[in-house]
Structure 1
Amino acid sequence: MHLQGENWPDFRGPNGDGSSTARGLPTEWSETKNVRWKTPLPDTGWSSPVVWDNQVWLTAATDDGKEQFALCLDRATGKLLQKLLIFRNPAPQGFPRGNNTYASPSPVIEKGRVYVHFGTFGTACIDTSRFTVLWSRRDLNCQHGQGPGSSPFLLENKLILTYDGMDIQYLVALDTKTGKTLWKTDRNTPFGEIDGDLKKAFSTPYLLRRKGNTELVSVGARAFCAYAPQTGKELWRIPHPGFSNASRPVAGKGLLFLNTGFNRPELWAVRLPDDGSGPTERDVLWRYTKGVPNLSSPLLIDDLLYFVADSEVLTCLEATTGKEVYKERIGGRFYASPVSSEGLIYLFGESGKTRVIKPGRALTVVAQNELETGPHASPAACGRAFYVRTSSHLYCLERR
């Protein structure tokens, strides 16, 4: 039986917010220190690893997108156990090299099953003990424009997928046992006459729990939305000016923190009404516009909100006021979302440099570490280890 913090089922962890209950994670590492194992990965991908019991899963694809795979590694040794060919694509949608990969959405996992998603190219459910595909869907499509990015979301018997394309935009819930559609909801955002590039998004839903109810918060182009997980009914919508959204929301202190995406990204704090009703534009408490990331998600710890931009800037804000506590240049670009555990924050840079800092009203750096290359994918933090996907390898970082 695994203890709390032993599994990492989603790219931002069990709570979907980057917080980890793991104990004893390393604070220092290098290519020769605290590396339990390092495994070269075949092909390419920006999907994050997910972890369940003795397995680590992630996805990969050929550079041209003609083949897409699910990868399973042994958690203890890093041995590649399976490379399952999931989909072949004779003529896949193209996009500029370097902007994305054909394996960027992260898997989600539960006991006995892992769900891999490649956007418009298809979704599959895999039996994790027999390594067989139980079901797949290839009829849910859109024109991504820059390739797939939204990760699936698992809630009870539903696998919820987001398709925010240049042409059409919708969410769909599939039955986890059969893959059949339980509900499908089109976005109601009034786009008007705008270019299709301004209609797309790449975000992953966040489950908001309040007043005994659950709401599926989904950020699309030009609107923040929430849906009823059981039916797909839209519950509320707040317009915003952005598009190509990738950052995942977080919530706390009676507020919901949302990123408007590209086109001068802004971080918004939206007050959640005490009576459980849906927020409106009047509930936008503050907006912050300087050094907001295009891609990575924020981290909320106590009364402070932390985020790292694509361009080496770390910002700390008062969560309830939006007041800037500090803004520091820490070097490097950050696409991976930060992780917190045991009173520390871990910031993984694309170059391979990681900063470990203490939460608080002043920047306190505990350690600076470096690997040969760094991640686009957010790391998993469970047990006593980090599982970090770089451009070429999957690392298990653990105190030795």
Structure 2
Amino acid sequence: MKRFALFVLGSAVALASAASLRAENWPQWRGARLDGISAEKDLPTKFSPTENVAWRFPLPGPAGASPVVWDNQVFLTTVDGNDLTLMCIGTDGKLQWKQVVSEGNKVVRDGEGNSASPSPSTDGKHVWAFMANGTLACYTVDGKEVWKLNVQDRYGKLDIAFGMTSSPVLDGDKLYLQLIHGEGNPDTREAVVVCLDAASGKEIWKRDRPSDGKNECEHSYASPIIYRDAKHEFLLTHGADYAIAHRLKDGSEIFRVGNLNPKGNYNPTLRFVATPVAAEGMIVIPSAKNGPVFCLKPDAEGDVSFQDAAYFWQRERDTPDVPSPLVHDGIVYLCRENGNLITVDAKTGEEFYTQPTVRDRHRASPVYADGHIYLTARNGNITVVKAGKTFEIVSTNDMKESISASPAIAGGTIYIRTFDALYAIRKAK
């Protein structure tokens, strides 16, 4: 992984220390910097339910939540009957503990999602779990409850078809949530962004998030990110037809990017699922349903929806619909929901290639490690593509179990969460 001297993206622990980075923990969805990039080396590119499997841990139920890893512990949320649970599994494949966070599961999207879909976060001392019914809880890494609350009690009843499946962002001692939901009249839509003290769950600030979007957010489950460089730092929320940057100190708006659902050709069923990604000096912002992709400069101010100077490039179509973009070594990787992989130059938008991989729905976001891109299909096939400007499939690996969760990479291991089990994939010693 390219190490940026000045750029650190929204780490789960701010990020604790350089030692943590060397240990290559994967502390929240999409990793330490929320970019899907791992520094791990010597990972397997060929695997199956029996090949290069260190262990397989059966799970009590499915979920799209990605596992997170810190040292010798793996945390993940899952359903267990009607219970919404947080589990801790050792990197040896043995259960350490399990806690019921809430009750009342709701199966959605023809079984593809449920109320345990948000991914947890950890800083190595505590772990935070959010459920789609609004329950948010903090536990020690030993499984002891520290605090628990429901965002519906604080911020109003959630009106969202698939549940509030956006994953919160942990940044140092703060936890950020985007609660964008409801449909119909924009003046009555509930949309707030909140910052909580991670240690206590107490509110630090809350901001309304106005939008003139129509019906988008009832089916949305994008997550926020944090951007940092030597001059800028902000929270970026994504939903209700806009990506909006908020100051970390108070949530006030810095800029907004619209035209993601163009008013001249407005799609009232559009919803954001793919989350933006930040790289050094840029933010790649997806939309949905074959809509546009924007590559934004981080020094934007105000409404930059139609300010060409605010962007490195704009692509009118070919957005990923569910998988989030990935940026590595000056190349943007866009994995379409049908398995097509598109690569473009990060600064110019020049296309290098568009090529098909597995012809099946892709829900998980791509990850990078050791010169390879891992693309996960819903039918359990994981395509390993060589990173770079030239398309080359290294392997296609059939796990024979449905997958919608993004892989996690830590400690020389690829953790793959299927609907049935958690796999630890690593080279045999």
TM exceeds 0.5? yes
Does 2:347 align with 1:324? Answer: no
In the aligned structure 1, how far is the partner of 2:191 from the partner of 2:161? 13
In the aligned structure 2, how far is the partner of 1:357 from the partner of 1:308? 12
In the aligned structure 2, how far is the partner of 1:198 from the partner of 1:58? 26
User: Structure 2 vs 1, CA of residues 171 and 244 (structure 1 numbering), >3 Å: closer, same or farther?
Assistant: same
User: Structure 2 vs 1, CA of residues 228 and 144 (structure 1 numbering), >3 Å: closer, same or farther?
Assistant: same
Following superposition, the deviation at residue 5 of structure 1 comes to 4.2
The answer as to whether partners of 1:60 and 1:103 remain within 8 angstroms in 2 is yes
User: Structure 2 vs 1, CA of residues 168 and 85 (structure 1 numbering), >3 Å: closer, same or farther?
Assistant: same
Following superposition, the deviation at residue 253 of structure 1 comes to 5.6
CA RMSD across the alignment:
2.1
Of residues 88, 104, 113 in structure 2, which corresponds to 1:72?
88
The residue type equivalent to 2:256 in the other structure is R
The answer as to whether partners of 2:62 and 2:418 remain within 8 angstroms in 1 is no
The residue type equivalent to 1:356 in the other structure is V
Structure-to-structure mapping, 1:350-369, within 5 angstroms: 350-369=378-397
Correspondence for 1:154: 170
The answer as to whether partners of 1:72 and 1:83 remain within 8 angstroms in 2 is yes
The residue type equivalent to 1:143 in the other structure is D
Of residues 206, 218, 236 in structure 1, which corresponds to 2:225?
206
Q: What TM-score, normalized to structure 1?
A: 0.91
Correspondence for 1:297: 324
User: Structure 2 vs 1, CA of residues 183 and 120 (structure 1 numbering), >3 Å: closer, same or farther?
Assistant: farther
Correspondence for 1:371: 399
SS of the aligned residue for 2:25 comes to coil
User: Structure 2 vs 1, CA of residues 269 and 343 (structure 1 numbering), >3 Å: closer, same or farther?
Assistant: same
Following superposition, the deviation at residue 367 of structure 1 comes to 2.1
Correspondence for 2:96: 81
User: Structure 2 vs 1, CA of residues 96 and 351 (structure 1 numbering), >3 Å: closer, same or farther?
Assistant: closer
Correspondence for 2:181: 165
In the aligned structure 2, how far is the partner of 1:156 from the partner of 1:224? 23
Correspondence for 2:4: none
Of residues 106, 110, 114 in structure 1, which corresponds to 2:127?
114
The answer as to whether partners of 2:277 and 2:285 remain within 8 angstroms in 1 is yes
In the aligned structure 2, how far is the partner of 1:349 from the partner of 1:95? 18
The residue type equivalent to 1:110 in the other structure is D
Q: Tell me how many residue pairs correspond in the alignment.
A: 388
Correspondence for 2:115: 102
The answer as to whether partners of 1:159 and 1:174 remain within 8 angstroms in 2 is yes
Residues 55-108 of structure 1, C-alpha deviations (whole Å, 9 max, x = no match): 111111256xx42111111112x122222111124xx77755435211110001
SS of the aligned residue for 2:37 comes to coil
The residue type equivalent to 1:383 in the other structure is G
SS of the aligned residue for 1:27 comes to coil
The residue type equivalent to 2:148 in the other structure is S
In the aligned structure 1, how far is the partner of 2:260 from the partner of 2:176? 25
The answer as to whether partners of 1:11 and 1:379 remain within 8 angstroms in 2 is no
Following superposition, the deviation at residue 271 of structure 1 comes to 2.7
Correspondence for 1:188: 210
Structure-to-structure mapping, 1:32-47, within 5 angstroms: 32-47=50-65
Structure-to-structure mapping, 1:1-400, within 5 angstroms: 4-62=22-80, 66-76=82-92, 78-89=93-104, 95=108, 97-98=110-111, 100-129=113-142, 131-138=143-150, 139=153, 140=155, 141-166=157-182, 167-191=189-213, 194-195=214-215, 197-198=216-217, 201-242=220-261, 243-252=270-279, 254-262=281-289, 264-273=290-299, 277=301, 280-281=304-305, 282=307, 283-331=310-358, 332-400=360-428
In the aligned structure 2, how far is the partner of 1:15 from the partner of 1:382? 13
Following superposition, the deviation at residue 168 of structure 1 comes to 1.0
The answer as to whether partners of 1:61 and 1:102 remain within 8 angstroms in 2 is yes
SS of the aligned residue for 2:111 comes to coil
Following superposition, the deviation at residue 351 of structure 1 comes to 1.7
- Where does the alignment leave 5 or more consecutive residues of structure 1 unmatched? none
In the aligned structure 1, how far is the partner of 2:23 from the partner of 2:374? 16
Identity of counterpart residues, as a percentage? 30
In the aligned structure 2, how far is the partner of 1:147 from the partner of 1:277? 32
The residue type equivalent to 2:373 in the other structure is I
The answer as to whether partners of 1:221 and 1:244 remain within 8 angstroms in 2 is yes
The residue type equivalent to 1:351 in the other structure is N
- Where does the alignment leave 5 or more consecutive residues of structure 2 unmatched? 1-18, 183-188, 262-269
Following superposition, the deviation at residue 40 of structure 1 comes to 0.8
Correspondence for 2:5: none
In the aligned structure 1, how far is the partner of 2:136 from the partner of 2:202? 12
